[in-house]
Amino acid sequence: MNKLNIKIDFPLFYALLFYLIFITDIFLPPINLGFTFYFRFVDFIIPFAILLIIIDKNRIIPRSFVFFIILSVWIAISMIINHNNVATNDLYEFYKIFKFAVIAIVALSYFKHFENHFDLFIKITFLVLLVLNLFQYYNIFNFHDVVEPFYDPSGIHWASFGKNSLGGPGPKRMLGTGGNPNINAIIFLFYYCWFLFSMFHKNLKNLKWHNWLFLFLSILAIILCQSRTALVIILVITIIYFISYHKPIKYMFIIIASTILIMLFLDLVSKESISYFSGFFKNVTVDGKEYLAENQSVRGRLDTWKFLFNMWIEKPIAGYGPYKNFFYSLKLYSENEYILYLWRYGIIGFFLYIYWYLFPVVKLENKKVKLSINPFYLLFGLSLMTAALTNNPITHPMISVLLAISVGYQLALGKNISTDTN
């Protein structure tokens, strides 16, 4: 009897898994499985991705992925040292790293075979995402009231939408599928980075009006999220991109000027919608003393950072481990991922966190360290490293998936800026 030979089209399956991972990450809300634990549909796809990688004899696993082993070992050491603090939910940190590596491998395989398809795919998903966000922002079909609570299970941002701290009318910050205006802004930053890269990386003589449209719409979305950090990121990465890649400076000024004009237009249309930005620069008086506006936001972060930093000084090498229950019990949010990793895993964990962004661009060839950086990865990597000053991008499950995808793109196509050092 003849053996049944089944030929599997591995690139096609990688593409299918990639699209499912991207779509479920961006569009589907988390599912609450109990106290502080949320299941995302991406997690359901991961076992199929693992199975595909196992049976694929031509799978691509870069040597640089040894970084994930080193990071996991150090986290384990930190947990052993702080064994009295360890709870079951702390073990999720290992899964998070493993999940990141799996998605990066899937993305790497996808971009190796279907890189030309990604631009169309990302434009389609952007348009759908923008529509959903506008539905939430303007509460079309009661999207904000009925649907948004699923994207914001905590209810914090949903309940405070369009309200100030006293419950009166306040600025509207677009929540979208991120359920959080800051996270939502980072999602749109991913799109902005791609649109900026794809527009100017090609022949500038073929610039089309729809390319500009997608770029400006992504800027509009970021502004409606009213994330001050994201707005700064737009300006910073745009300047860095045009200087690093020697693109016509006139286009850089067009983008920056357009960003400012969009903000001014929104301010004229609805001052309430843009007041979150302007309010930052006003002073308020409390007990005869002047403080920076949004003082609860700014001062609250500074107090938290100081608190965590002072704790870290007591355990500078290995930190306190993941110790998630510490933050849950105090209802504390670090809002600075550098300080978070410093507190959790000490000074060594801090440098490992920074290297998390760098490992895809470092290659060892002929006893020399070669840095090969793709423009898109440079843009999005810098975006997240800047966002990490006021947010926790890698720690957030939605953003970590986007970073893993950009890592896959870098590993597949990272050959644009190269430098050699001994």
For the residues 333-345, what does the mean pLDDT come to? Answer: 93
pLDDT of residue 184: 96
Domain ranges of the chain: 10-421
Indicate if the pLDDT at residue 269 is higher than 70: no
CA distance 174 to 135: 10
pLDDT of residue 46: 97
Query: Which of 337, 339, 340 lies closest to 357, judged by CA?
Result: 337
Computed over every residue of the chain, the mean pLDDT equals 87
- Tens-place pLDDT, residues 151-167: 998 888 888 887 765 66
Amino acid at 417: I
Share of the chain above pLDDT 70, in %: 86
CA distance 223 to 225: 5
For the residues 196-209, what does the mean pLDDT come to? Answer: 81
Which span out of 27-41, 281-295, 321-335 was modeled with the highest average pLDDT?
Answer: 321-335
pLDDT of residue 332: 82
CA distance 246 to 262: 26
pLDDT of residue 1: 44
Indicate if the pLDDT at residue 40 is higher than 50: yes
pLDDT of residue 296: 56
For the residues 99-118, what does the mean pLDDT come to? Answer: 96
Check if the beta carbon of residue 70 is closer than 8 Å to that of residue 352.
yes
Name the DSSP letter for residue 184.
H
Reported confidence tier of residue 419, pLDDT bands at 50, 70, 90: very low
pLDDT of residue 278: 56
pLDDT of residue 362: 87
For the residues 90-105, what does the mean pLDDT come to? Answer: 95
- Tens-place pLDDT, residues 43-68: 999 999 999 999 999 999 999 999 99
pLDDT of residue 277: 58
Name the DSSP letter for residue 283.
E
